[in-house]
Amino acid sequence: MSHVSSHSPHGQAPLHTVQVLGGGSAGSSAHVRSLAAGLAARGVRVTVCAPEEAARVYDFTGAGARHVHVPRSGDPVSVAALRVACADADLVHAHGLHAAVRAVLALTGRPTPLVVTWHRHAHAAGARARVLRLLERRVAKAASVILGASSDLVDRARRRGARDARLAAVALPAPHRAGLPEAVDEEPDRLLHKARAELGAVDRPLVLAVGALQQGRGYDVLLDATRAWRHLDPLPLLVVAGEGPERAALQHRIDTEQLPVRLVGRRDDVPELLAAADLAVLPSSAEPRPVLVQEALHARVPLVAAAVGGVPDLVGDAAELVPHADAQALATAVVRLLADPARRAELRDRGTAQAATWPSEDDTVTQVLSVYDELTQPVPYS
């Protein structure tokens, strides 16, 4: 962490920022917690407006912020609560489109600068796509600065009329990167064997996917791919960690087609599961910087991923990239990697090198704070 004792030049009151979170994906919620901790450590007063359930999981108060419960809903009561919370803010920073729309409404008639981070691509079809474009345009024009987590999100903001759109350094927060508990250093083989035994993969390759079980995440393609490796001996096991509305349909397919797949639900030990895995797979993603991609490369686990969104830029040559929605290509890449220990070792080393090029949490806080300074200090330092 950079040595900045307080962000209060010339004896002024500390800068007060309000961070607004909607429902919040895991990535944006973890980012807000990381940002809150980094800003608070530099003397910034931080209020996080988020639903109670997000506060329970991400402990914003433990990061040094004040938490105000604001439901995800865009109804007048929620907007009024947000307006009150922002009353004495020097700057408001909204994360995601839903949060940004409510922040725009809450700040109507006020000169408070608004920063918006677009963390992921919003998708809609038909009439909803038109509504989505209108909302994006309203946010883009109202925001002082839009930060995009990938270059295509920055381009999208500019197309929607943003006056200032920039690429944001969004780091993987430390808790995800911390990896295994210290005990693993003492007895790694025993603990990894235990993890594999629990999953039913002691004498067979273990392939891991992580993410919400929702449409558009590519799990149908991934299940198709497992059919192509059913002839292998030993038979690889695909373990999917995550929960969501598609679980019942996926489980029905697994049972009906007798696929070598286990759905293990939401897990809080993903670093341990990754350490036990032979490969990680990402069949699709709406996130420009998927958490699984970053965790896999940090953990030195070879990755097979669909070449979508910001994934190719994120991984460089440190993963096997396959065309999106191509089950045969996905299966072929997995089978080839499992049979090639030298290639897996090469990807581990490339992953470590690639991860070293990514922004740190301190880089992220530094960039965001420089944007805040631009917007809140009318007289630049000479």
Edge-to-edge order in the sheet of strand 16-21: 66-69, 45-50, 16-21, 91-95, 114-118, 145-148, 165-167
pLDDT attached to residue 174: 64
CA distance 237 to 277: 10
Write out pLDDT tens, residues 182-199.
444 446 678 788 889 999
Q: Which CATH number fits domain 9-171+360-375: 3.40.50.12140, 3.40.50.740, 3.40.50.2000, 3.20.20.70?
A: 3.40.50.2000
Q: Does the pLDDT of residue 241 top 90, yes or no?
A: yes
Which helix (H) or strand (E) segment holds residue 361: the answer is helix 361-376
**Backbone dihedral region of 300: left (phi > 0), alpha (psi from -120 to 50 degrees) or beta?**
left
How far apart CA 198 and CA 130 sit, in angstroms, is 47
- Non-local (6+) Cβ contacts of 256 within 8 A are none
Q: Name residue, tokens 């500390």.
A: 14
Q: For residue 28, name the pLDDT band (cuts at 50, 70, 90).
A: confident
> 40 - beta bridge partners?
none
Pairing of strands 45-50, 16-21: parallel
- Tokens at residue 29, please? 């919620």
As a three-state string, the secondary structure of 147-168 is EECCHHHHHHHHHCCCCCEEEC
Q: pLDDT digit string (tens) for 69-107?
A: 998 887 899 999 999 999 999 999 999 999 999 999 999
How far is it, in rounded angstroms, from Cα 169 to Cα 48? 20
* Mean pLDDT of the region 43-55: 95
Annotated domain spans of the chain: 9-171+360-375, 174-355
Mean pLDDT of the chain: 90
Query: What stretches of 266-373 adopt beta strand conformation (E)?
Result: 279-282, 303-306, 320-322
* Domains 9-171+360-375 and 174-355 in one fold: yes
Write down the pTM of the prediction: 0.80
> What pLDDT does residue 296 have?
96
Rounded Cα gap, residues 165 and 24, in angstroms: 21
Largest CA distance in the chain: 71
User: When comparing pLDDT for 3 and 192, which is higher?
Assistant: 192
Domain 174-355, second-level architecture: 3-Layer(aba) Sandwich (3.40)
- pLDDT at residue 151 in the model: 85
pLDDT confidence band for 173 (50 / 70 / 90): confident
